[in-house]
Amino acid sequence: MTFTQICLYGAIAGAGYLAGSIPFGYLIGRLYGHDVRKEGSGNIGATNVTRVVGPKAGKVCFALDFLKGFLPVLLLRVGIAKNWFPAPAGGFGEAVLIVAVVLGHMFTIYLKFKGGKGIATALGAVTAVTPYAALTAFALWAAVFFATGYVSLGSISAALALPFLAWGFSYWNRPHLSPAMLIFFAVLALFAVWKHRSNIRRLCNGTESRFIRKKNGEA
């Protein structure tokens, strides 16, 4: 990369971090008179918003967290396709931006660098790069969640499956991804699992919180 490209993508990463830092879960909680950092699991993600505020608020939170990952990466890809931005080799530009938005959600500057676990934001960002793999991973998440009631188990399963799904769809050229991008997805998946290490301990101990569907269909 040239010095100009480094400066450009540094600025893009900074903007992505600020976008990813928008704490939608916290803002939704405050709108309903709750501080989700002090209730439930203390997480600002959609799962805890669902637990503290309710299912509808949780769905809105998930959608907003998804979009703050999806839109920046999509805009970058459009910009590269239209030659507004130079395209670094190996998908490096997209990888930098994905890391930035996900870290923004996990360590938001607006809440003293304390945030969520980044699953919805990462899913949105990855969807902009390889939609088939991301949507299949989401379907796996949904299947595991509805079968077990554990959001964390669904998230861990989807994260571990993502690199293999990305490789599979890339093999069939939908779309073609560079080896560097596939390795990046593997590292991203391992990081997502690491962020769930406390959930893994609780799953092993049988103390993990579980959503149970009621007769009206809500969790």
Instruction: Give the tens place of pLDDT for each residue, 42-68.
Output: 999 999 999 999 999 999 999 999 999
Q: Is residue 218 part of a domain?
A: no
Which range marks the domain in which residue 139 is found? 131-210
Residues 58 and 6 in one domain: yes
Taking the C-alpha atoms of residue 82 and residue 199, their distance in angstroms, rounded to an integer, is: 43
Total domain count, the chain: 2
In a domain, 85, yes or no: yes
**What gap in Å lies between CA 150 and CA 196, rounded to an integer?**
12
Instruction: Cis check for the bond before 175: say yes or no (omega within 30 of 0).
Output: yes
pTM for the full predicted model: 0.89
* N-term to C-term CA, the chain: 49
Does some domain include residue 57?
A: yes
Query: Which one of 79, 98, 129 terminates a domain?
Result: 129
Last residue of a domain, one of 111, 129, 147: 129
pLDDT in tens, 136-192: 999 999 999 999 999 999 999 999 999 999 999 988 877 788 888 888 999 999 999
Q: Are residues 53 and 88 in the same domain?
A: yes
